[in-house]
Amino acid sequence: MHNDRIIAFVMAGGQGSRLQPLTTGRSKPSVPFGARYRIVDFVLSNFVNSQIQTIYLLVQYKSQSLIEHVRKAWTISPLLQSQFVTVVPPQMMSGQHWFQGTADAVNQNINLIEEHRPDLVAVFGADHIYRMDIRQMVQFHKDRKADVTIAALPVPLKDASSFGVIAADEDGRIQAFEEKPANPTPMPADPTQAFASMGNYIFSTEVLVKALMEAKEAGETDFGQHVLPRLLRDHRLFAYDFSTNQIPGIQPYEDRVYWRDVGTIDAYFDAHHDVLGAEPPFDMFNPEWPVYSSGYQGPVARILGGHLENTLLGAATMIHSGTRIKNSIIRRETVIEEDVVLEDCVIMDYVRIGRGARLKRVIVDRHNHIEPGDEIGFDAEKDAQRFQVSEGGVTVVPQGRLSYFARD
């Protein structure tokens, strides 16, 4: 596969409306995740680790923080001109509109395909937490002589109506594809599950270009709703089963592949528990498949005292004495003052939690100051007057105005 020329379009324009208020000032791929990442870092790391390094990030909605992040963190090579992550804003060529859907977004940048003349074009979402060796999907695509390959995995049937649902034969050839069906068809082998598209596609270039032209003529703008169903009529579409993907260096306790849609506050919050513990379901540590992120050069965290249990700390964070912190993630340059109690919390960057405050099941977005003695996460009704409380009872303190830094 090293002879194949592949360019990647990473679709990073999602609004993430169900992730409010974390997406009030930034797009979903730009939302911080874990102790030092942004959501977009996972797909970008997958591409770079898979040696696919010509990457265009298509953005639209509130893209400033993503642009800043990519500028600071994603310079792949200052020397090799074909290796880059470049942010592409909407071109607005086809009339005065921004990207309307994923296919329209690629269509507006079809000149990039013409410029590079790749053999294959990867079109991937930017919204998920996972590791994937994309070379294995490319190999599958070539072995099947596919026109389009869609990465897919089984999801619980009850969740399936928010995905593209696939029926495929034993070889992976797609027989049917329905975007977000009201009544999803279960998998023949397991009626509790449906075979769901991950929103990651490999296209043979000619097929993509032709399909995009046709979509444009027909006024169609979306891959899942329009382009894929149309292609299915007379092309070879295959589903690549993500559960067969093998990551180098994977830990023995990870006996299944990990893929999480963190599209709601509750899913986002729960996914943070998957990176905690001695043997987390999703282990950030894998030197053979690193997740890259900001090259922040600040010092390590400082712990002056307190009792910490099962907690991740970002760089330059300071934990004062008398604190009790459990099952939490604290990002960089945050100060936890004396006698603070935190349990099941995600505390983002540049936050100060005042002396004696108590927080439970709380996400605190960047640039905040929690007042000394404040209590958050113990009374949903009271919290809802000041902050936002999710269906699952997670309180979110929206981005604050603590510092002079650009907020993002």
Q: Which residues bind ligand ADQ (CB under 6 A)?
A: 11-14, 28-29, 58, 60, 99, 101-102, 105, 125-127, 163-164, 179, 196-199, 224, 261
Give the β-pairing of 128-130 and 259-261: antiparallel
Q: DSSP letters along 145-171, please?
A: T-SEEEEEEEEEGGGGGGSEEEEE-TT
Pick the closer one to ligand ADQ by CB: 19 or 351.
19
**Are the C-beta atoms of 238 and 144 separated by less than 8 Å?**
yes
- We find the least distance from the C-beta atom of residue 408 to ligand ADQ, in angstroms, to be 17
Non-local CB neighbours of 22 within 8 Å, separated by 6+ positions? 16, 31, 265, 268, 363, 365, 396, 398
Pick the closer one to ligand ADQ by CB: 126 or 341.
126
- We find the least distance from the C-beta atom of residue 259 to ligand ADQ, in angstroms, to be 9
Tokens of 373: 């003695």
- We find the least distance from the C-beta atom of residue 57 to ligand ADQ, in angstroms, to be 9
The distance from CA 51 to its chain's CA centroid, rounded to whole angstroms, is: 19
Give the β-pairing of 375-376 and 128-130: unpaired
Pick the closer one to ligand ADQ by CB: 74 or 99.
99
CA atoms within 13 A on the CB side of 369: 5
**Residues in the chain, overall count:** 408
The distance from CA 330 to its chain's CA centroid, rounded to whole angstroms, is: 19
CA atoms within 13 A on the CB side of 54: 17
- We find the least distance from the C-beta atom of residue 268 to ligand ADQ, in angstroms, to be 14
Alpha carbon dihedral 166, 167, 172, 173, in 10-degree steps, equals -100
Residue with tokens 């004495």: 321
Residue type, 397: V
**Are the C-beta atoms of 14 and 20 separated by less than 8 Å?**
no
Pick the closer one to ligand ADQ by CB: 212 or 364.
212
Pick the closer one to ligand ADQ by CB: 28 or 367.
28
Residue 379's CB is within 10 A of a number of other CB atoms, namely: 12
Pick the closer one to ligand ADQ by CB: 131 or 352.
131
Pick the closer one to ligand ADQ by CB: 64 or 403.
64
Pick the closer one to ligand ADQ by CB: 201 or 387.
201
- We find the least distance from the C-beta atom of residue 283 to ligand ADQ, in angstroms, to be 23
**Are the C-beta atoms of 398 and 265 separated by less than 8 Å?**
no
Pick the closer one to ligand ADQ by CB: 193 or 368.
193
Cα 264-266-270 angle, rounded to 5 deg: 120
- We find the least distance from the C-beta atom of residue 218 to ligand ADQ, in angstroms, to be 18
Residue 167's CB is within 10 A of a number of other CB atoms, namely: 17
Asked whether the bond before 118 is cis by omega within 30 degrees of 0, the reply is: no
Q: Which residue is nearest to ligand ADQ (CB)?
A: 14
**Taking the alpha carbons of 381, 386, 391, 393 in that order, is the dihedral positive or negative?**
negative
Pick the closer one to ligand ADQ by CB: 58 or 345.
58
- We find the least distance from the C-beta atom of residue 101 to ligand ADQ, in angstroms, to be 6
Pick the closer one to ligand ADQ by CB: 26 or 28.
28
- We find the least distance from the C-beta atom of residue 126 to ligand ADQ, in angstroms, to be 4
- We find the least distance from the C-beta atom of residue 199 to ligand ADQ, in angstroms, to be 3
Residue type, 167: A
- We find the least distance from the C-beta atom of residue 228 to ligand ADQ, in angstroms, to be 8
The Cα 201–Cα 34 span in angstroms is 26
Q: Nearest CA to 285 among 314, 325, 251?
A: 251
- We find the least distance from the C-beta atom of residue 394 to ligand ADQ, in angstroms, to be 21
